[in-house]
Amino acid sequence: MNRIALIAAVAVTSLSAIAQAEPVGDGLQLDVDLVDRTLPLAGVLNLTTPIHAGYHFGNTAVLVGAYVARGGVSSSYLSGGTTYESSGSLTWVELAPSVRYHLKPLEAGALSPFVLGEIDYVIVSQSSSQTPAPTPPVSSKVDLPKLWGFALGGGAEYLVSKNFGLSAAVELRYLNYSLAVSQSPSESKGALDALCLGGTASVNLHF
């Protein structure tokens, strides 16, 4: 009886090991960041894309990270017996297409190191209004900030099962930020280049 139980235990263990070593096939991939931090070496800019979605084929994964934020502000003040109401909103959309190449095939129960490249681009839109309109009108213009960059890095992914993994990566990221403000008769422009070291830890789902 003990021998039968021992043989059964060995068989189950062997079958589990074979099943765990099964490679991940081509398919959809979704990464959800648990930690996303940028440590500025020059500047204080940061890009955060907590969700990455794309397709994994062979040793390569093509993903797009996205993050959308929207904020609004309103205020009122009294001038010359007239109450002025002003409001505005700002929408911030970050896009981060990336390519990840695994140095080892993805297999359940195994660690697979990878290298990656990423492009970062931010789209900013805004709207504002004031009631009643100021008299005389104020001539001013604020160009929307422009932010773009790219990153190179590496990391590793450990597949707990064929459809579930954990990964961590470190990236060296270059960012360029520019802004222009003009209010007649003066005009000012500013730009900032930043070199940042970023780190992420993610949960990875393979379908």
Burial level of 117, CB count in 10 A (0-12/13-18/19+)?
middle
Provide the pLDDT for residue 43: 47
Amino acid type, 157: E
How far apart CA 25 and CA 206 sit, in angstroms, is 9
Give pTM, 2 decimals. 0.69
Q: Give the residue from 56, 151, 155, 152 showing the smallest Cα distance to 114.
A: 155
How far apart CA 30 and CA 128 sit, in angstroms, is 36
Q: What is the pLDDT of residues 146-168, one digit of tens each?
A: 788 899 999 999 999 889 999 99
Q: Which long-range contacts (CB under 8 A, 24 or more apart) does 81-87 make?
A: 82/132, 84/130, 84/131, 84/132, 84/134, 85/130, 85/131, 86/128, 86/129, 86/130, 86/131, 87/128, 87/129, 87/130
SS3 assignment, position 30: strand
How far apart CA 129 and CA 83 sit, in angstroms, is 14
Mean pLDDT across 126-155: 71
User: Residue 199: pLDDT above 90?
Assistant: no
Provide the pLDDT for residue 162: 86
Please state which of the ranges 39-53, 58-72, 167-181 shows the lowest mean pLDDT.
Answer: 39-53
Mean pLDDT across 4-22: 49
How far apart CA 11 and CA 168 sit, in angstroms, is 34
Q: Tell me, which fold does domain 24-206 have in CATH?
A: Porin (2.40.160)
Q: What is the pLDDT of residues 77-122, one digit of tens each?
A: 666 666 767 776 777 788 889 999 999 998 988 999 999 999 988 8
Segments making up each domain of the chain, as ranges: 24-206
